[in-house]
Amino acid sequence: MFKTIFLIAALSTTAFAQKKGAMAPITDIEGLPRVLLIGDSISIGYTVDVQKALQGKANVHRPLTNCGPTTKGLKELDAWLNTGGKDKKWTVIHFNWGLHDLKYISGKGDKLSAVDAPNSHQQVAPDDYQKNLRTLVQRLKKTKAHLIWRNTTPVPEGARGRVVGDSNKYNKIAAKIMTEEGVEIHDLYAFAKKHAAEIQRKADVHYTPAGSRKLAHEVVKVLKIEAKK
């Protein structure tokens, strides 16, 4: 009877974690490296596949939210750095902000709007993006983790509320900062652009499930986490 109850509980926990996907909290396995993935829905899409690929090799966490634009990062980064336990050390932090910064909104909210809509403007203009990102990098450097900047993936033709080519503009701003700060750059933009026809949804900045798995594979490669001997 007790075995049956335990089995049901275990299955329920597993099902709950699968249902929550990337937003399921992770319990650390002692002795393994700790990895933090910071990013918006693109990173949410590849989080679970990165976790699966590094199962038994690393504790892979993410903030249990869409990390949105740099303005949200400025408000919430300190809390995100406590993901999985306050004051625990991070081995690697793989991070991105961009698609929400360059998107167009109107009014006081952050709801996506058409580029040509009345009062439409970018959520975070390039100059503010640069200032915010510099501040965020300085805070991340205090963790002493190995930092990897994942640049922003492409905006395809027809995507509402964003302009084709803006990812590249914002990536140039970020690249200058990362080079000056000695932060490693993961050029996921180039990979995503090259394989867009097979991995990205039509007229959408997001990726198919298979596409997200391919992005996860690229993330795992740059994390360089080896099995513990």
Architecture of domain 37-223: 3-Layer(aba) Sandwich (3.40)
pLDDT of residue 87: 86
What pLDDT digit, counting tens, does each position of 36-57 carry?
A: 999 999 999 999 999 999 999 9
How far apart (Å, rounded) are the C-alpha atoms in residues 152 and 171? Answer: 6
Tokens 């990013």: give the residue: 39
Can you give the pTM of this predicted structure?
Answer: 0.90
Q: Is the dihedral of CA 202, 155, 162, 158 positive or negative?
A: negative
φ and ψ at 54, to 5 degrees? -105, 15
For the chain of 229 residues, list the mean pLDDT of each consecutive stretch of 10: 33 37 95 98 98 97 98 98 94 98 91 93 98 98 98 97 98 98 98 98 98 98 80
Instruction: Specify the pLDDT at position 108.
Output: 76
User: At 50, which amino acid appears?
Assistant: V
The residue type of 117 is A
The pLDDT tens digits for 60-78 are 999 999 999 999 999 999 9
Query: Are 220 and 50 a contacting pair, CB within 8 Å?
Result: yes
User: In a 3-state reduction of DSSP, which class is residue 92?
Assistant: strand
**By three-state DSSP, how is residue 104 classified?**
strand
Burial 81-102 (b: 16+ CB within 10 A, else e): bebbeeeeebbbbbbbbbbbbb
